[in-house]
Structure 1
Amino acid sequence: MKEKKGKSRGRIFLLLSFCFFILFHSVVAMAASWPTADLTAESAIVVDAETGAVLYEKNGDVREYPASITKVMTALVVLEHASLEDKVTFSHDAVYNVDRGSSNAQIEEGDVLTVNDCLHALLLKSANEAANALAEHVAGSREAFAEMMNEKAKELGCTGTHFQNPSGLQDENHYTTARDMALIGMAAFQNKAFLEIEKNLSHTLGNLKRLPEGNTIYMEHKMMLSNTKFYDKRVVAGKTGYTQIAGNTLISLAEDQGRKVVTVVLKDKNPSHYTDTKALLDLAFSETENQTLGEHPGALEALRKELVSAGKITEENKIHFLDTVKISLPKGASQDGLQYVFTDIEGDVPASALGKVQILLDGKVVGSGYIGKDQNIQVILNNKETKKKVAVAAVTVSGFTILAGFGFFLFGGGALYGAKNLHDERKRKKKWKERRKKNLEELQISEEEFKILVEKRKSEKKKK
């Protein structure tokens, strides 16, 4: 009888264990899947501003009309080519070459304002005459300024965008995509002057012909206004847009607990452009997270072999990321299965960079980082105890090993990788200790000799 009860309990235990196993793996699988959203907008996207990862998109590459969110690009170009204290004189064409009834700040022909005033009118009030006047001030004409906008768009990596004017007024040759506008929003997030202007929810334009006492303009993005039902404290900047053909458009820059994202909705309805944006922010901040890229020797080795085959490095070279790399993943997702794709780079990049590596999960880019190769250094050591030279003992030490060791002496190892918490930091510190110890043992170099190598390498660089 006891045996039967024991067997019965054993079966129940196995059954419960199996159920728990299935439930656990189902939860993990759910946590690792990319989140989705039910939106009204015809096109939408939310992008992590640090990693560049697309956290969710809906028709992200479909061309749509941007309407007045165009003015974010207008502001970026102006901030690159003009001083905030420059004086802008409003021409007849700047004031009157706009659609009847379109957004304006009551600025008249002949009024003179600073670039700073004009940018506030542009971004807070969406004043079309301010867009025209700024374009004329910077480039001489709206047409020439639009070319500058297109050049900037190309520089930022936009592939489905063409600007025809600085205001966003309807034109069949004036279009963009949600993905491209997110790239523009990421650039705006990095522009301190842009963010400073957007912080001001109101601004007074003085000495206007129509309003000599001044005209106070107010922010129109309702998610930034605490007295509206759409207020969201996470939104730190953004721009509204609307035309009958474009529908409601909205770009928003948001931050929560140090993490920054950009949302874009195109061809939306009112007030869905606000509720859709909130849904995208909730998705980004609640259902995804940024992780520090862990060590994946197998994937990195596969990439190294590709670079050897392509003639980028020699067989002796190892490769490493130049800095700590952050990636964006569904909350709780594992980094297993990450893939590395190498791309050549040009322009303003670290001098020691071989190229840029895109990090993918299931074919989706989740982050990127610059990669470099370890340089070989030939060192001849002298035996100080016997005062005899060691027989041309050429010891090969990788530059990265030296940098890592030097960094360890300075920072205790963990700071090199910027682990996201103390537990990870201690684990990485321990790994670095073990790896450094192993490397030194293989090279038959003592700790003291290693320090000498570091100092010698530094002095050689100074002489060069």
Structure 2
Amino acid sequence: MFQNRFFRRAAALVLTLALAAAAALPGLAAYPMPIQTASETEAVYLFNADTGKTILAQNADQQQYVASLTKMMTALLLLESGKDLNGEVTVPTAMTQEFKDIQNANGMTAGLRIGETVRRIDLLYALLVSSANDAASVIAYDVGGSVLDFVRQMNARAAELGCTGTNFTCAHGLFDYGNVSTAEDMARIAAECYKNPTFVQVSGTAAYTMPATNLHQNERTINSTNPLTDTGSEFYRSYIKCVKGGFTTLAGRCAVAFAEQGGHTYGLVILHADNASLYTECDQLLDWAFESFSDRPLVDTQTELTTVDLTKCRAQPTAALYAAAPVSGYGHADDVVSYAFDLPESIPATVKNGQKVGTATVYLDGYEVGTVDLVTHAEYISDFRTDSKATLLLLCTLVVILGALTVLTLAAGGGSLNLRRRKRRH
């Protein structure tokens, strides 16, 4: 009994330490890279957006230029500012030099003009759909009061999200100098963006009509720069819900995508990719994720999970415990199922069949899936109850024997008396 208790406690301790270690190392890749990326310096980070679990990581903690992926933070700060998205903003004169710098860098624009009045929602669509750099700068001025103060807000928000390798120097990412992050940091920012339904809707839009303004008499249609959301593209995937791409000479091709299928969501970040391979790799990695992970049974109700020590039961020193209900989970075929048990050190017999004794928390590859009750599949009789029955049976037997002896004695005594009486008569 002591050995069983010792080994159970030791196993629980090992499991606790293993789970703590897994939680402390969230950036480690859980699985080998299923494809050969075009460049060894390319950064890749694929994660389960529902649980935060790292699926794949390559150079994920190395700083890279992030180009227009910067605009995700710009969008996030606008959405978190509380400003009315249907409210209007007038492009200030202070944007004159900023617009010239964007033009000189051959950056994408929405054709905004000084003095033009536009709605914030239209700026957001221009920012995320066509990756307009001028829209990013106007948003920065509107939310931060100045581009410089807005950049400070960007870096402060990144730090709040746990980003340790990120430094923003502009609101759009067109200017590379010092504007860096890591694939893992960008995943943190992207995951926060994905929580906002407006961000998901806007960034998943393939084309948007900008309404006429005081300086643009006609409507304008802006188109997504990303083929992953283009139904006519060879790279299109129906499960991709939102995406943001980017490119500069130093940053190379960059992309963030979120894909949802069968109730499960993945986020993917690729930095410093080759121009020709980026979207192929996006498709390959997301296809692999949905093909390699699935819902599967983890625990049934007929397999013994553990035991608990019994007291007052010499015949059976332990009771086998089973899950009261089946447990399923979503994961890879190679994921290991483990348990953390919440049990008393021992329980006294009698224990009824189906009695709840404790609980088991089920983990799949170190991530908690759920908790299930642990019950018995047999009745374990107390020694006291057994001994009492035996004692009662013995007493009953003795009573019967004594009764029989009494009857025999009385019968024998009666016969002897009759014999003496007959002798006297003679």
TM-score, normalised to structure 2, is 0.64
* 1:33/1:214 CA distance change after superposition, 3 Å: closer
SS of the residue corresponding to residue 68 of structure 1 reads helix
1:165 Cα shift? 1.0
Q: Which residue of 1 aligns with 2:87?
A: 86
Distance in 2, matches of 1:158 and 1:177, equals 9
Cα displacement string for residues 102-122 of structure 1 (whole angstroms, at most 9, x for unaligned residues): 100111111111110000000
Match of 2:37 in 1: 39
Of 218, 223, 232, the match for 2:223: 218
Q: Confirm or deny: 8 A CA contact 1:106 1:210 kept in the other structure.
A: no
What residue is the counterpart of 2:69 in the other structure? 69
Deviation at 1:213, TM superposition (A): 0.8
The equivalent of 1:253 in structure 2 is 258
Q: Is the CA contact (8 Å cut-off) linking 2:63 and 2:180 kept in structure 1?
A: yes
The Cα shift of 1:195 comes to 1.2
d(CA) in 1 for partners of 2:274 and 2:122? 30
Structure 1 residues 327 and 136: alpha-carbon distance in aligned structure 2, compared to 1, 3 A threshold: farther
Please report how far the alpha carbon of residue 284 of structure 1 lies from its aligned counterpart in structure 2 after TM superposition. Answer: 1.5
1:279 paired residue among 281, 284, 287? 284
- Cα gap change, 1:368/1:190 in structure 2, threshold over 3 Å: closer, same or farther? farther
Structure 1 residues 188 and 298, CA, compared in 2 at 3 Å: closer, same or farther?
farther
Cα distance in 2 for residues equivalent to 1:226 and 1:108: 32
The CA deviation string for residues 191-214 of structure 1, in whole angstroms up to 9 with x for no partner, is 111112234322222234664112
Distance 2:251 2:103 in 1: 15
Q: Equivalences for 1:196-345 in 2 at 5 Å?
A: 196-208=201-213, 211-289=216-294, 329-336=331-338
Structure 2 residue 163 is matched with structure 1 residue 158: yes
Spell out, residue by residue over 1:23-51, the C-alpha distance to the aligned partner (whole angstroms, 9 max, x if none): xxxxxxxxx96553211251111110011
Shift of 1:173: 1.5
Note if contact 1:61-1:177 (Cα within 8 Å) is conserved in structure 2: yes
Query: Using a 3 Å threshold, how does the CA distance of structure 1 residues 282 and 159 change in structure 2: closer, same or farther?
Result: same
How many angstroms does 1:234 deviate by? 1.4
Question: In terms of mean alpha carbon deviation, does 168-177 or 222-231 score higher?
Answer: 168-177
TM-score norm. by structure 1 comes to: 0.59
Structure 2 residue ranges without an equivalent (≥5): 1-29, 307-326, 341-360, 383-426
Pairwise CA distance, 1:97 = 3.9
Contact 2:246 / 2:253 at 8 angstroms: preserved in 1? yes
| Change beyond 3 A, Cα 1:156–1:292 | farther
Percent identity (aligned): 29
2: distance between equivalents of 1:233 and 1:292? 28
Alpha-carbon separation, structure 2, partners of 1:155 and 1:289:
33
Q: Distance in 2 between matches of 1:230 and 1:142?
A: 35
Q: Give distance in 2, aligned partners of 1:51 and 1:119.
A: 28
Which deviates more from structure 2 when the two are superposed, residues 54-63 or residues 280-289?
A: 280-289
Cα distance in 1 for residues equivalent to 2:80 and 2:269: 23
* Per-residue deviation, 1:61: 0.4
SS at match of 2:190: helix
CA shift at 1:330, angstroms? 2.5
Question: What's 2:178 paired with?
Answer: 173
CA spacing shift, 1:57–1:205, aligned 2, 3 Å: same
Which residue of structure 1 lines up, in the alignment, with residue 128 of structure 2? 123
Residue 89 of structure 2 contacts residue 120 of structure 2 at CA under 8 Å; is this kept in 1? yes
CA contact (8 A) 1:128 1:167 kept: yes
Is residue 96–residue 129 contact of structure 1 (8 Å, CA) maintained in 2?
no
Which of 183-192 and 44-53 deviates more? 183-192
Which has the larger displacement, 91-100 or 55-64?
Answer: 91-100
Q: State the Cα distance separating 1:99 from its structure 2 match.
A: 4.5
* Cα gap change, 1:61 to 1:326, in 2 (>3 Å): farther
Q: Deviations over 1:250-303 (max 9, x none)?
A: 1101111111011111111223110111121022211234679879x999xxxx
What are the within-5 Å matches in structure 2 for residues 18-33 of structure 1? none
Where does residue 190 of structure 1 map in the other structure?
Answer: 195
Q: Which amino acid aligns with 2:335?
A: A
**Residues 95 and 210 (structure 1 numbering): CA distance in 2 closer, same or farther, change over 3 Å?**
farther
Could you tell me which residue of structure 2 aligns to residue 146 of structure 1?
A: 151
Question: Any idea what SS the aligned residue of 1:280 has?
Answer: helix
The 8 Å contact of residues 37 and 283 in structure 1, kept in 2 or not, is answered as no
CA distance in 2, matches of 1:123, 1:181: 16
Residues 187/273 of structure 1: CA separation in 2 closer, same or farther (3 Å cut): same
Deviation at 1:241, TM superposition (A): 0.2
For structure 1, the residue ranges without an aligned partner over 5 or more in a row are: 1-31, 300-324, 339-356, 370-415, 418-427, 442-464
Deviation of the 1:229 alpha carbon: 1.1
SS in 1 for 2:271: strand
Q: Shift of residue 224 of structure 1?
A: 0.7
On the 8 A contact 1:327/1:367 being kept in 2, the answer is no
Partner of 1:136: 141
- Name the count of aligned residue pairs: 305
Q: Deviations over 1:364-401 (max 9, x none)?
A: xx5369xxxxxxxxxxxxxxxxxxxxxxxxxxxxxxxx
Match of 2:52 in 1: 52
Q: Which has the larger radius of gyration?
A: 2
C-alpha contact 1:204 1:217 (8 A) present in aligned 2: yes
Q: Match for residue 7 of structure 1?
A: none
Rounded to whole Å, the distance in 2 between the matches of 1:117 and 1:203 is 9
